[in-house]
Amino acid sequence: MTTNKQLNRLENFSISFFAIALGLAGFTLLLQKSEMILKFNLHLSTLFLNITLIIFILISLIYLFKFLIKTNSIIEEFTHPVKMSFFPLIAKVLIVLSIIFIERSVITSKYLWLLGAILQLIFTFVIVSAWMRHPKFNIIHITPAWFIPVVGSILLPIVGVKHFNPLFSWFFFSIGLVFWLVLFILFMNRVIFHNPVEEKLLPTFFILFAPPAIGFISYIKLVGELDAFAKILYFLSLFLFLLILFQFKMFLKIKFYLSWWAYSFPLAAMGTATLLMYHLTKLSFFSYLAYFILGFLTIMMILLTIKTLLGIFKKELCVKD
């Protein structure tokens, strides 16, 4: 009986668990940049890098085990109109780790970037092909999580310009930017003219301000200056960030789901973009905003960790949807 229960929990071990690793990686990156730009001397980024690596490896091993004994369950996830978008989270974690490691080991960063780029490109081709051919997709299936498979490419130039010819980074940046605009328009059509997004997926609204924030950082790395387009990307991200915060009453009503981890990485992206904006402009406003986002994200990480551990202890996670 116990074995059957354990197998059922393994079968329901969702691909979205990788959002935990991505959130931790994003938080680690924000801590690292805060230590560099805001002159923090706590050296917490090293601690959280180790935690991130442990959690990422653990989740990967569990999911690999699931692949070996519950292959059909993974196929069902990969053909699901919402869950399939979470598979490229694996590539995102590798890419963010490559950004973190650029300050520690260039060769490690390069290999992490290369593996992340390959996986990102494969997932992009496979999932966009599924979007083009799949007969089951409906407008109500689209959420900001749909940004993950393609728009994630916009992350790659951040350190890609240091590892390979910048043209490769422009290739990925172009994919991410254009598909973000397309999917953003589709999503706005969905939320304005169709049924509301179900409660479980409401936390994915935070993903809305991540692409322009990341796009801002990547664009700066590509062109090397704070020009008009860079300002458009940053301030659009800032507007969307404030717009989402304005909906705080909606988020307070949501019970805990694993999708809460969608709060983490976008906040880290916004915080990192704001630190870069402060570094480029030296305006105190951006340093205060960066402190606010760092504090907000720190509280969220504590809350998410407690909620997740309680969910595991009470066996509320890894259950059938």
Token pair in block for residue 113: 């970037």
Alpha carbon distance 105, 148 (integer Å): 27
Alpha carbon distance 29, 306 (integer Å): 21
pLDDT of residue 235: 98
Q: How far is CA 15 from the centre of its chain?
A: 13
pLDDT of residue 133: 82
CATH of domain 2-313: 1.50.10.150
Integer CA distances (angstroms), 229 to 164, 182, 215, in order: 24, 18, 10
Considering only CA atoms, which of 300, 293, 299, 291 is closest in space to residue 38? 291
Q: What is the pLDDT along the chain (321 residues), one digit of tens a residue?
A: 446 666 667 777 889 899 999 999 999 999 999 999 998 777 899 999 999 999 999 999 999 998 888 888 888 888 888 888 899 999 999 999 999 999 999 999 999 999 999 999 999 999 999 888 877 778 888 888 888 988 889 999 999 999 999 999 999 999 999 999 999 999 999 988 888 888 888 899 999 999 999 999 999 999 999 999 999 999 999 999 999 999 888 888 888 888 889 999 999 999 999 999 999 999 999 999 999 999 999 999 999 999 999 988 887 776 666
pTM of the model: 0.93
Residues 6+ apart with CB under 8 A from 208: 144, 184, 187, 240, 244, 266
Alpha carbon distance 130, 127 (integer Å): 5
